């Protein structure tokens, strides 16, 4: 049984807009799943439906085997939510608002646990400060502290590192990795693809309310990963020689560099043949370099393809 | 029942109140004193007695009710509107709690604040007039029920309100007239007959009448009616709130 099971979830907002259009997804216990998608794809809506912020119009969602509507107490007991918006009471003290969160989940006060959480998030020194006196990044961490206060088994992080500086982002990654070691299932949305690359076990891509793809991150990168070969020429060429027209080459740097894209998972990469063809054309190669495409390119390609298909249909 | 959650909400709400305890205390003391100067002094010197009770004492139950009703509504409506406004309501919606627990926390706190202010007014009044309370238990019961039922109404207003203006609108446009026309400062027998009949449709009349009966043993309508009216009003509010949370109206987009 998956920790979170989403089956054909639909959400139609009051205005008639369909933000979720039959999304289905299984999230396994203990994994970090990165949920990627462009603005307005439905990431926040999906998380809201799981956490009880909005009611799905149809479909079923279960957390830990508990239906989030019928058996909401059991389901929500397992879930911690760090919302995308920094929603905090400006005049409250850090310590009190975190304690409140724990109480709201019906847990007995446990100041030692809250102290550990605040220390882990470098907020312990600020425990007596009012929220409004904190910086944006600190406020975000207060949100995380509140979500962790009741010791959730599943944690939703809706863009936790938006507006957070580089160093702090690394800290946050460490925190997430540590939570994973403690066995917490983590769902993370982000627009920083390197974040998904660094943290996720699996990647899900959502667009226009539908899950387009769910895959193991490494497998995904291997399967769809394209490599680029840059061939530096001894003598610049004015145009791509006719004998090389089959390779889809691009000319760069005023004809000094030929660029060749190839698929690492294809039967043949075609590199050897290309090299032979270059020699046959009498082109002298000075240097070659390859680079691996990132998850970002994959993501952009996927979302782009999806939109083109829609456009055709 | 998730009592810990109820307690957490209640304590959180009360702490806001304690932060401004002095203001909460001083303003009713001043306003009550003003009422006695104006009504008790200026008008009371002409009216003297209403149904055998000195006018100064006669207005005390109405004065307490007026303030308690306004306080219960404004505290409860603000209490739930504020998290909606700043977005912290996400926490309530994602916590393992049901509508009754949310209501108990917020309405309980708002009713407690209103009760506190009601007691402050009673005590302040006792410095100006001689107060005897014939049915102390009934007095406490009416006071409590009023605090709770109007805090429930305030809670509904807080959920309904889309902005701060609307938050003020209902109390100003509906409740204030009902309270003033509900016999806070006069006995309805002092009104022309037509108005007496019209006034009978004012729910607040039954509260004030019952409350006044607890003090002086005299009432505009039978005490049983007062109790029935407040019970009806409370259950209407509760039903409305149950419906709100079931449908997610104005809280779960
Ligand atoms: N309360 C609402 N009423 C109507 N439409 C809404 C509401 N909330 C969201 N939407 C719409 O639903 C779609 C999905 O929004 P959602 O917030 O889930 O996107 P997202 O993937 O989280 O985007 P972002 O990356 O910008 O946070 C958007 O088109 C948005 O305008
Ligand atoms: Mg979002």
State chain A's mean pLDDT as an integer.
91
The DSSP string of A96-139 is HHHHHHHHHTTPPP-HHHHHHHHHHTT-GGGTTSBGGGS-HHHH
- The CATH code of domain A226-292 reads 3.30.70.1560
For residue A145, the model assigns a pLDDT of 96
List of residues 6+ apart from B207 with CB closer than 8 A: B65, B69, B142, B146, B182, B226, B229, B230
DSSP A93: B
Q: Ligand 1 pocket check: which of A17, A36, A205 to mutate, most ligand atoms within 8 Å of Cβ? A: A17
Structural domain contains residue B253: no
Q: Which residue's C-alpha comes closest to atom 5 of ligand 1?
A: A13
- Lowest mean pLDDT across A105-114, A166-175, A230-239, B91-100: A166-175
- Tell me whether residue B237 is in a domain: yes
> How many percent of chain A have pLDDT more than 70?
96
CATH architecture of A4-222: 3-Layer(aba) Sandwich (3.40)
Domain count, chain B: 1
The model's confidence at residue A308, banded by pLDDT at 50, 70 and 90, is low
Counting residues of chain A whose pLDDT is more than 90, the rounded percentage is 69
Indicate if the pLDDT at residue A309 is higher than 70. no
Taking the Cβ of residue A180 and every Cβ of chain B, the question of whether any pair is shorter than 8 Å is answered with no
Count of alpha carbons within 13 angstroms of residue A62, beta-carbon side:
12
B58 part of a folded domain: yes
Check pLDDT > 70 for residue A311: no
Chain B residues touching A105 at Cβ < 8 A: 5, 95-96
Q: Please, which pLDDT band fits residue A312 given cuts at 50, 70 and 90?
A: very low
CB A233 within 8 A of CB A257: yes
Strand intervals (E) in A161-274: 185-189, 202-207, 210-216, 226-233, 250-252, 257-263
Q: What is the pLDDT of residue B174?
A: 84
| Token pair belonging to B106 | 């917020």
A44 alpha carbon to ligand 2 midpoint, in Å? 4
Distance of alpha carbon A29 from alpha carbon A64, whole angstroms: 9
User: Residue A22 in 3-state DSSP?
Assistant: strand
Per-residue model confidence (pLDDT) at position A301: 77
Q: How far is CA B180 from CA A74, B66, B102, in A?
A: 48, 8, 31
Looking at per-residue pLDDT, the higher value among A222 and B31 belongs to B31
How many Cβ atoms sit within 10 Å of the Cβ of residue B45? 10
- What is the CB-side half-sphere exposure of residue A253 using CA atoms within 13 A? 11
pLDDT band, very low/low/confident/very high, at A310 (cuts 50, 70, 90): low
Please state, in angstroms and rounded to a whole number, the distance separating the CA atoms of residues A178 and A116: 13
Are A104 and B8 in contact (CB < 8 Å)? yes
- How many angstroms separate the CA atoms of B175 and A296, rounded? 59
pLDDT of residue A313: 41
Nearest chain A Cα to B6, which residue? Answer: A104
By the CB < 8 Å criterion, does B93 face chain A? yes
Higher pLDDT, A167 or B83: B83
Domain boundaries, chain A: 4-222, 226-292
Nearest-angstrom CA–CA distance, A224 and A220: 6
pLDDT value for A220: 80
Tell me the C-alpha distance between B245 and B223, whole Å: 33
Q: Is A39 in the pocket of ligand 1 (CB under 6 A)?
A: yes
pLDDT tens digit at each of 253 positions of chain B: 899 999 999 999 999 888 888 887 888 889 888 888 877 677 767 777 777 788 888 889 999 999 999 999 999 999 999 999 999 999 999 999 998 899 999 999 999 999 999 999 999 999 888 888 999 999 999 999 999 999 999 999 999 999 999 999 888 888 888 888 888 888 888 888 888 888 888 888 998 999 999 999 988 889 999 999 989 999 999 999 999 888 888 887 6
Asked if A234 and A241 touch (Cβ cutoff 8 Å), the reply is no
B246 touches chain A (CB under 8 A): no
8 Å CB contact of A14 and B253? yes
Binding-face residues of B in 130-169 toward A, CB within 8 A: none
Cβ of A14 under 8 Å from any chain B Cβ? yes
Note whether B86 contacts A89, CB cutoff 8 Å.
yes
Classify residue A9 as left (phi > 0), alpha (psi -120 to 50) or beta.
beta
- From A18, A38, A44, the mutation candidate for ligand 1 (largest count of ligand atoms within 8 A of CB) is A44
Ligand 1 pocket mutation, candidates A45, A84, A159, criterion most atoms within 8 A of CB: A45
**pLDDT tens-place string over residues A47-82:** 999 999 999 999 999 999 999 999 999 999 999 999
pLDDT the model gives residue B44 = 66
Q: Nearest-CA distance from B179 to chain A in Å?
A: 33
Q: For residue B57, give its domain range.
A: 3-247
Contacts 24+ apart (CB under 8 A), A213-217: A213/A302, A214/A25, A214/A26, A217/A34, A217/A295
pTM for the full model?
A: 0.86
Query: A55 touching B, CB under 8 A?
Result: yes
Among A114, A119, A181, A184, smallest CA distance to A149 is for: A114
Complete DSSP assignment for B117-160: HHHHHHHHHHHHS----S-HHHHHHHHHHHHHHHHHHHHHHHHH
């Amino acid at each position: 049984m998956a920790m979170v099971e989403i089956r054909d979830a639909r959400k139609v907002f009051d205005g008639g807009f369909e933000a979720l259009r039959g999304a289905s997804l299984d999230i396994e216990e203990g994994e970090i799943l990165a949920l990627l998608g462009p603005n307005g794809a439905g990431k926040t809506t999906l998380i809201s439906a799981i956490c009880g912020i909005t009611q799905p119009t149809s479909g079923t969602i279960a957390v830990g085997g508990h239906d989030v509507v019928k058996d909401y107490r059991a389901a929500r007991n397992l879930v911690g939510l760090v919302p995308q918006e920094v929603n905090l009471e400006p005049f409250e003290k850090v310590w009190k608002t975190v304690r409140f969160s724990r109480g709201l989940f019906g847990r007995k006060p446990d100041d030692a646990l809250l102290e550990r959480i605040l220390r882990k998030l470098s907020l312990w020194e600020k425990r007596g400060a009012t929220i409004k006196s904190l910086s944006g990044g600190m406020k975000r961490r207060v949100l995380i502290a509140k979500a962790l206060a009741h010791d959730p088994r599943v944690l939703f992080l809706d863009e936790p590192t938006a507006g957070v500086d580089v160093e702090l982002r690394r800290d946050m990654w460490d925190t997430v990795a540590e939570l994973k070691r403690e066995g917490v299932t983590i769902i993370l949305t982000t627009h920083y693809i390197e974040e998904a690359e660094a943290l996720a076990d699996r990647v899900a891509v959502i667009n226009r309310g539908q899950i387009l793809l769910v895959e193991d991150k490494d497998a995904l990168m291997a399967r769809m990963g394209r490599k680029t070969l840059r061939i530096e020429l001894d003598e610049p060429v004015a145009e791509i020689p006719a004998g090389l027209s089959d390779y889809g080459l691009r000319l760069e740097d005023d004809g000094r560099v030929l660029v060749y894209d190839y698929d690492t998972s294809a039967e043949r990469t075609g590199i050897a043949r290309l090299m032979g063809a270059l020699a046959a054309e009498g082109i002298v190669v000075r240097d070659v370099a390859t680079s691996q495409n990132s998850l970002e390119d994959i993501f952009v390609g996927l979302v782009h393809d999806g939109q083109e298909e829609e456009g055709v249909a | 029942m998730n009592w810990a959650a109820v307690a957490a909400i209640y304590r959180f709400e009360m702490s806001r109140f304690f932060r401004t305890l002095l203001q909460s205390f001083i303003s009713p003391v001043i306003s009550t004193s003003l009422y006695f100067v104006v009504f008790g002094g200026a008008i009371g010197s002409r009216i003297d007695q209403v149904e055998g009770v000195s006018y100064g004492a006669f207005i005390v139950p109405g004065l307490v009710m007026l303030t308690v009703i306004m306080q219960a509504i404004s505290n409860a409506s603000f209490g739930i509107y504020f998290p909606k406004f700043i977005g912290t309501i996400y926490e309530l919606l994602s916590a393992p709690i049901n509508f009754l627990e949310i209501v108990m926390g917020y309405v309980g706190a708002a009713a407690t604040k209103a009760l506190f202010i009601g007691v402050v007014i009673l005590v302040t009044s006792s410095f100006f007039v001689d107060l005897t309370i014939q049915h102390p238990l009934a007095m406490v019961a009416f006071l409590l029920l009023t605090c709770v039922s109007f805090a429930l109404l305030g809670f509904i207003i807080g959920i309904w309100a889309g902005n701060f203006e609307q938050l003020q609108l209902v109390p100003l446009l509906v409740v204030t007239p009902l309270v003033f026309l509900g016999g806070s400062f006069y006995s309805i027998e002092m009104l022309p007959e037509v108005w007496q009949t019209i006034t009978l449709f004012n729910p607040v009349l039954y509260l004030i009448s019952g409350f006044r009966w607890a003090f002086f043993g005299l009432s505009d309508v039978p005490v049983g009616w007062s109790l029935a009216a407040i019970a009806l009003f409370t259950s209407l509010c509760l039903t409305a709130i149950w419906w709100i949370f079931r449908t997610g109206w104005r809280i779960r987009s």
